[in-house]
Structure formats: structure tokens, C-alpha cells
Amino acid sequence: MLPALLGRSKEGRDHLVEHAGTISLIAGDWKLIQPRPGAPAYTGGHVETGNQPEPQLLNMATDPVEQHNLAANYPDKVKEMTARLDEIERSGRSRRR
């Protein structure tokens, strides 16, 4: 990734792992947010935490504000991305909080 950040290469990772309370994987147009217990919003309800008891699958090309969970419509995509995130974690390149 460093060569891409330094402008020495146009190649970078084809995914991004986010850690912000919950852990998520962005690959292409898709974002998978892993299940996590807890309140879905901070006190007052104005800022979402990302916490949900079920996985969230979002198509960021058609839903850039992340309002529509498509996990029930695309269970194979959820399995694929969950397996990929698990592999990333097992390889030591990411960790759950």
C-alpha cells in the first residue's frame, strides 16, 4: 500500500478494513459491517454506532449514505465477504476490537 500512497505505483489494496467500534470490510461497491451488540446510536440518537445484531451489507454505489441493509437479499455476498474479512484477520493484517 505504501508505494501507492507515495505515488510510486497505481496499484493498492482492493479492499479497506475499517475499525470504528464495529469492524467492516469495503471491497468494490460493497461494504460488510460485522454484527456487534450494543446501542445502534449514541445517546440522543443522532449519531449511529454501527452496532446491529445481524451483519449489514451495503451497496455504496447505489446507497452512499448507508441506509439500506441488503444482507437478506445477498446472503452469498455476506458469506464471501465474511470469509474474506476472517482471512484478513487470521493473516494478522487486522484485528477485532
Q: Is the pTM of this model over 0.85?
A: no
Q: Does 14-90 carry CATH code 3.30.1120.10?
A: yes
CA angle 17, 22, 23 (to 5 degrees): 20
Instruction: For residue 23, give the amino acid letter.
Output: I
**pLDDT value at residue 12:** 65
Residue 30's beta-bridge partner residues?
Answer: 27, 59
In this predicted structure, what is the pLDDT of residue 97? Answer: 43
| Residues 70, 87: Cα–Cα separation, whole Å | 22
> Could you give the CA distance from residue 46 to residue 8 in angstroms, rounded to a whole number?
41
Tell me the mean pLDDT per 10 residues along the chain, length 97.
71 72 87 78 63 86 91 97 90 60
Give per-residue pLDDT as tens, 20-44. 767 889 999 999 988 877 666 566 6
Locate the domains of the chain by residue range.
14-90
Distance between CA 58 and CA 29 in Å, rounded? 8
